[in-house]
Structure 1
């Protein structure tokens, strides 16, 4: 079973911080060419500088992927630099609370646009390129891999963040639908659902609530909060040919939390 992604080209969204950054760095370390993209231009420039501006494995592309033109330019920049794209990781997330009994339609629309629609559109665009570049290669096992990142909110409701929960659930259904549609083209689509992971949002929440860390640890069977790198390892596996017969699946990386404790805003 080969987990190698040496020489592959990946696009990672939300790559300026947190989980998206951990995923992008993980893929670089494993030998892939990686396009880091995020709307946070300053943050993106800072993290890419850490790899060296002249590193041929790394390309930064600042921009709001919710905009269709930005998506198209992102793909064009990737092809200009590396001539192909083999892996897409939709790690961009936008989290905001909403009143479960009086949800502002604007917030709900924004949650769906940021957390599901943008990733779906980018996946469709990238998939078309994957199909094109695999033409005339009937013997290849994998023409491409797409991995979507979500949270336990997708399957277990968080009333205080109803809009976000709905968007995460929609994203996971889009993962399954695309997996079925793209399977004949040898493109796999999977998801990674997380909790008890040190995301950017959790770091911010822990600063506000000193008791939260122990609450999470107590509610996690494996008894700790995992690093973002541990989730990145799961993404790497799903992106590699080691997972070549896995598609349409949502892998939960939560230390067993979903088995033992009600999901709360701490898990996002």
Structure 2
């Protein structure tokens, strides 16, 4: 297979890489012969479990909260101590508290923004010296909720819309460094975060499936594969883009179904 469809000898960083989409990215990356992968998790138990399950010496991780300045500092130091450069940065970490704007607590708003926006903004900035050492790719995980309104969740939608705009701006700023910056905007897939949100009413998915032209939500692998494409040299002339991974949802809007 062409090295354009490979991650061979790449040094990769994945935030939130211990579960869900991030974990799926790590699993798939390992099939493409990377040099080393570093992940982080705010849960020490989850980090240990994931590292143990992967059981691969190329993967290491650190327990930290990248929504905080202290956590990002620890993470960046760990990366600098263990990698000579960063070829790929996947800003995957994210959080959501699904409430109407009237019901959303102020501290929930700040938690969403700090986790989803601050971590992405500052990790890109702090890792720039390592990203500038060659041809690098940044992939920011946004959401379909940042493209169109899903009818609720203003804080979450706001945070993901910010990521998409940030991606566009940064791609233009950093093209001179041969750094590509892209985003993906997934619709719902069965991540641990979604399972937790649905635990009291699985029937919520009926409406989601009706809205989605393809009639279902995604499997994690279906989100992971496009992310890997943007990480690889096969996408070498793609930058500043937001790739929707949504079964046709944002082409139609959230009212569905298609005729």
Structure-2 residue corresponding to 1:81:
82
The TM-score normalised by the length of structure 1 is: 0.87
Q: Structure 1 stretch 25-34 or stretch 6-15: which is displaced more?
A: 25-34
Count of aligned residue pairs for this structure pair: 253
Residue 213 in 1 paired to residue 216 in 2?
A: no
Residue 51 in 1 paired to residue 54 in 2?
A: yes
Residue 61 in 1 paired to residue 62 in 2?
A: yes
Give 3-state SS (helix, strand or coil) of 2:89's partner. Answer: strand
Q: How far does the alpha carbon of each residue in 1:61-105 deviate from its partner, in whole angstroms, 9 at most, with x for none?
A: 110112334323323323333322111101101101344247544
Residue 233 in 1 paired to residue 225 in 2?
A: yes
* CA deviation after TM superposition for structure 1 residue 113, in Å: 1.2
Structure-1 residue corresponding to 2:28:
26
* CA deviation after TM superposition for structure 1 residue 263, in Å: 7.2
* CA deviation after TM superposition for structure 1 residue 159, in Å: 4.5
Please, what is the CA RMSD of the aligned residues? 2.1
Q: Structure 1 stretch 255-264 or stretch 172-181: which is displaced more?
A: 255-264
Q: How far does the alpha carbon of each residue in 1:123-162 deviate from its partner, in whole angstroms, 9 at most, with x for none?
A: 111122221x23xxxxxxxx21110101111121244311
Give 3-state SS (helix, strand or coil) of 2:5's partner. Answer: coil
Give 3-state SS (helix, strand or coil) of 1:109's partner. Answer: helix
CA distance in 2, matches of 1:229, 1:127: 29
Q: How far does the alpha carbon of each residue in 1:20-53 deviate from its partner, in whole angstroms, 9 at most, with x for none?
A: 111122212222221121101101110110122x
Q: Is the 8 A contact 1:66 1:113 kept in 2?
A: yes
Give 3-state SS (helix, strand or coil) of 2:127's partner. Answer: helix
Q: Is the 8 A contact 2:146 2:164 kept in 1?
A: yes
Q: How far does the alpha carbon of each residue in 1:154-193 deviate from its partner, in whole angstroms, 9 at most, with x for none?
A: 1212443111111111111111111111000000000000
Q: Structure 1 stretch 212-221 or stretch 57-66: which is displaced more?
A: 212-221
Judged with a 3 Å threshold, the aligned counterparts in structure 2 of structure 1 residues 263 and 178 are, in CA distance, closer, same or farther, namely farther
CA distance in 2, matches of 1:106, 1:208: 23
Give 3-state SS (helix, strand or coil) of 1:148's partner. Answer: strand
Residue 114 in 1 paired to residue 115 in 2?
A: yes
Residue 93 in 1 paired to residue 85 in 2?
A: no
Q: Structure 1 stretch 214-223 or stretch 91-100: which is displaced more?
A: 214-223
CA distance in 2, matches of 1:80, 1:89: 19
CA distance in 2, matches of 1:160, 1:196: 15
Contiguous gaps of at least 5 residues in structure 2: none
The TM-score normalised by the length of structure 2 is: 0.89
CA distance in 2, matches of 1:263, 1:92: 28
Aligned residue runs from structure 1 range 127-146, under 5 A? 127-131=128-132, 133-134=133-134, 143-146=135-138
CA distance in 2, matches of 1:74, 1:196: 28
Structure-1 residue corresponding to 2:178:
186
Q: Structure 1 stretch 204-213 or stretch 186-195: which is displaced more?
A: 204-213
Match of 2:158 among 154, 166, 169: 166
Contiguous gaps of at least 5 residues in structure 1: 135-142
